[in-house]
Amino acid sequence: MMAGHSLAKILSGFVWTMLFLNNIFYFIGDLGPLFIVLALTGLELGVAISQAHVSTISICIYLNDATNLHQIALPYY
């Protein structure tokens, strides 16, 4: 779960360093890692949304089972 965060941290540090080298070739070469960081941020957002969705559905299923399946069936006399 921390691999995406670690990769984004490492690459953003690399991009930040490349921005301050004051050479046009380094700046052009910096656009690649910058776009990769932006793409990873989008992927991390997608992963966060899917994890929230799965957690919400799991909680809803659990609450439904806890409230509806655990009722005592009394016999009718």
- pLDDT digits (tens), the chain, 77 positions: 678 778 878 888 877 777 777 666 666 666 777 788 888 889 889 988 999 999 999 999 999 888 887 666 666 66
Does any domain span residue 73?
A: no
Q: How many beta carbons lie within 10 A of that of residue 10, not counting itself?
A: 12
pLDDT at 54: 97
Does any domain span residue 19?
A: yes
Which residue range forms the structural domain that includes residue 62? 3-67
Does any domain span residue 74?
A: no
CA–CA separation, 37 and 66 (whole Å) = 43
Q: What is the CA 7 to chain-centroid distance, rounded?
A: 13
Does any domain span residue 75?
A: no
8 close to 41: Cβ distance less than 8 angstroms: yes
pLDDT at 26: 63
Does any domain span residue 18?
A: yes
Structural domain count, the chain? 1
